[in-house]
Amino acid sequence: MTDPDKRAVCIGEAIVELARGADGRFALASSGDSFNTAIYLARAGLPVAFASALGDDPFSDAIVSLAQAEGIGTDLILRAGGRLPGLALVDADGKGERRVHYWREAAPARELFELPQWSCMAEGLVKARLIYFTGITLSLYSNVGLGRFFATLELARGNGAKIAFDGNFRPHGWHGDLTRTRTVFAEALKRVDIALPAYDDEAVLWGDPSPEATIERLQAFGVAEIVVKNGPNSALVAASGACDAVPVPEVVVPVDPTAAGDGFNAGYLAARLSGRGPFEAASAAHRLAGQVIQHRGSIVPRAGAAVH
Question: 3-state DSSP call for residue 33?
Answer: helix
Q: Are 298 and 247 in contact (CB under 8 A)?
A: no
Could you tell me where the DSSP H helices lie in 129-259? 135-140, 143-158, 178-189, 199-206, 211-220
CA 167, CA 203: separation in Å to the nearest integer? 11
- What Cα–Cα distance (Å) separates residue 233 from each residue in 211, 229, 248? 11, 9, 7
Count CB atoms within 10 A of the CB of residue 155. 15
Choose the catalytic residue: 33, 166, 208, 262.
262
Question: For the chain, how long is the longest CA-to-CA vector?
Answer: 53
For residue 304, the SS3 value is helix
Break the chain down into helix, strand, coil percent, rounded to 5.
Answer: 40, 25, 35
Helix (H) or strand (E) segment spanning residue 171 = none
| Helices first, then strands: H and E counts in the chain | 10, 13
Residues 6+ apart with CB under 8 A from 74: 49, 50, 64, 67, 68
Q: What are phi and psi of 224, to 5 degrees?
A: -85, -30
- How many Cβ atoms are within 10 Å of 280's Cβ, its own excluded? 15
* Paired residues of 243 in beta bridges: 238
262 assigned to active site: yes
Catalytic positions are: 262
